[in-house]
Chain A
Amino acid sequence: MITINSMMCKGCGYCIKFCPKHILEMGKERSEKGHFYPVNINTDACTSCAICALMCPEAAIEVAAKN
């Protein structure tokens, strides 16, 4: 399970590009800061591998262990 903090995200797209499960997609809404930010389109498929968080320059993504 991942949580994306839209107040930190700058919409670079690195997390979307490198998610091995291809479950992140750029959302259609802008954050309060004015950036588009990613949304998880298939929460069940997330393996909590944390590659998205590893690549996020802003530490906007936190990952909880899969249970």
Chain B
Amino acid sequence: MPEYKRPSSLMPMATGYCPGCMHALATRLVADVIDELNQADNAINVVSVGCSALNLYSWHGDVIGAAHGRAPAVATGIKRCLPERLVFTYQGDGDLAAIGLAEIMSAANRGENFTVVFANNQTYGMTGGQMAPTTLIGQKTTTTRFGRDPQTTGYPLKMCELISVLEAPVFVARYALNSPKGVSDAKKGIKKAFEMQLAGKGFTFVELLTNCPTNWGMSPLDTLEYMNTNTIPYFQPGVYKDAEAAK
């Protein structure tokens, strides 16, 4: 029968996240995998700007903070200097798909040998719930008061789809954290990405569909169903590229 122990990469205290925030769940999953791979002393967490970055308070191992959107550039430098370390960025959707769009596309296109963990909660959580590039059509935010209108703000950016058409990336996948099946698949995906990085295979990208109960204006439990009816149909979970499977 399975057992579960709190991972050693987390400090022995509660996170700074709101109740039910899936940034906490995503952080815990990364920590679980790092423990399973025995990498607690070897991992470097490159955090971005946003609620995403709050995980640095609960992270036991090495952390470095990057400027907004620039985590892939910082991770590039670290990994090139310290190729033996397990390097990953942890970025939100505003960080990665808005201000940092150039950095993520360039790092992916160069095939840098680190892993991106991308938490897509379809909003700028930290700054009070403004529209992000990933905000869904019709979704109300503080800057789309009547719902996002593609006529003026375009369509939600699908990052896995964009990155998977590049030559260099070796693993690109999306998972939803609103069910045990999704969470357990996400854990396997993160593990696979880290293993590929440790084997020197190249750029790996794992998108996690997450929530923001506070700015969505819902209870944590209500976000689970909202994600089934709204988020998942647009951002389809799945493996978009797997160089190992293609062989």
The reply to whether A59 and B1 contact each other, CB–CB distance below 8 Å, is no
A7 to chain B, nearest CB (A): 7
The reply to whether A14 and B220 contact each other, CB–CB distance below 8 Å, is yes
Q: How many residues of B contact A (CB 8 A)?
A: 28
Task: Report chain B residues within 8 Å CB of A33.
Answer: 14
Cβ of B3 under 8 Å from chain A: yes
Cβ of B247 under 8 Å from chain A: no
A30 to chain B, nearest CB (A): 13
The reply to whether A10 and B20 contact each other, CB–CB distance below 8 Å, is yes
Write the A16-46 contact mask toward B (1 if CB under 8 angstroms, else 0): 0110000000000000010100000000000
The reply to whether B3 and A58 contact each other, CB–CB distance below 8 Å, is no
Q: Using CB atoms, name the residue of chain B closest to A5.
A: B6
Task: Report chain A residues within 8 Å CB of B224.
Answer: 14, 17
The reply to whether B14 and A48 contact each other, CB–CB distance below 8 Å, is no
Cα distance A3–B31 when bound, in Å? 19
The reply to whether B19 and A64 contact each other, CB–CB distance below 8 Å, is no
B25 partner, pick from A35, A55, A62, beta carbons under 8 A: A55
The reply to whether A58 and B15 contact each other, CB–CB distance below 8 Å, is yes
Task: Report chain A residues within 8 Å CB of B6.
Answer: 59, 62
Cβ of B221 under 8 Å from chain A: yes
Task: Report chain A residues within 8 Å CB of B15.
Answer: 57-58
The reply to whether B180 and A57 contact each other, CB–CB distance below 8 Å, is no
Instruction: Say yes or no: A62-B19 contact (C-beta < 8 A), given A8-B14, A14-B220, A57-B28.
Output: no
Instruction: Say yes or no: A12-B14 contact (C-beta < 8 A), given A49-B2, A61-B4, A62-B6.
Output: no
The reply to whether B180 and A54 contact each other, CB–CB distance below 8 Å, is yes
Cβ of B10 under 8 Å from chain A: yes
Task: Report chain B residues within 8 Å CB of A50.
Answer: 2-4
Instruction: Say yes or no: A65-B28 contact (C-beta < 8 A), given A54-B184, A55-B180.
Output: no
Task: Report chain B residues within 8 Å CB of A51.
Answer: 180
A47 to chain B, nearest CB (A): 7
Task: Report chain A residues within 8 Å CB of B25.
Answer: 55-57
Task: Report chain B residues within 8 Å CB of A12.
Answer: 19-20, 220-221
Cβ of B47 under 8 Å from chain A: no
The reply to whether A66 and B220 contact each other, CB–CB distance below 8 Å, is no
Task: Report chain B residues within 8 Å CB of A13.
Answer: 20, 220-221
The reply to whether A18 and B180 contact each other, CB–CB distance below 8 Å, is yes
The reply to whether A57 and B17 contact each other, CB–CB distance below 8 Å, is yes
Cβ of B24 under 8 Å from chain A: yes
B163 to chain A, nearest CB (A): 26
- The contact sample of 10 A-B pairs, CB cut-off 8 A, is A10-B19, A13-B220, A13-B221, A50-B4, A54-B4, A55-B180, A56-B25, A57-B20, A57-B22, A59-B10
Known contacts A55-B183, A59-B31; 10 additional CB pairs below 8 A are A9-B14, A18-B179, A18-B180, A33-B14, A48-B1, A53-B4, A54-B180, A58-B15, A63-B3, A65-B3
